[in-house]
Amino acid sequence: MFTRHLMMSAAAFCVLAPALAQDAVAPSSSALRATGVFPIRQDRSQWLGSNLIGATVMSASNEKIGRIANLVVNDDGAVEAAVISIGGVFGLGAKDVAVTYKSLNIVRNTSSDGIDHIVLAATKNDLRQAADFKTLREQKAEKMAQRPGSTRVVPVKMTTPPP
């Protein structure tokens, strides 16, 4: 009798084993970006994001414009724009304006391992007159606020204080 129950349990397990071995959801191979490349050092023509964010931005006439507040990166990993925070005190009341990454002229520090400052071919007044940069979150909040019958949501700009 015991052998009979043991044999029936073993048969049931063999039937269910393939179903138990399957993953719940296997990611599709097209969704993953596989690479065999693992950079081991920074090249002289490359910048670290931590060096760019917080860097001082100056005009061509040596006027301080502001600081790099953030970077806009596309799906391919290329930096498309830099968000410059101008005005304000400790991030309060500041205005964020985006400029293309190619418009930045990066000046290395004396030891050549970081950024001393960034020169932009625009003035602080030019950036004050430019349109505010809006993140996807801010755009979504504005769209929600414009819907009839929705409660008013006021987007808040999150900026980091200068170092």
Residue 37 has a pLDDT of 82
Cα separation, 60 vs 62, in Å, equals: 5
For 49-142, which CATH superfamily applies?
A: PRC-barrel domain (2.30.30.240)
> Which residue's structure tokens are 């009341």?
93
In 3D space, the residue among 2, 101, 5 whose CA is nearest the CA of residue 55 turns out to be 101
Residue 145 has a pLDDT of 87
Cα separation, 105 vs 88, in Å, equals: 24
Low-confidence ranges of the chain (pLDDT < 50): none
Cα separation, 48 vs 113, in Å, equals: 10
Count of alpha carbons within 13 angstroms of residue 99, beta-carbon side? 25
Residue 36 has a pLDDT of 76
Residue 32 has a pLDDT of 73
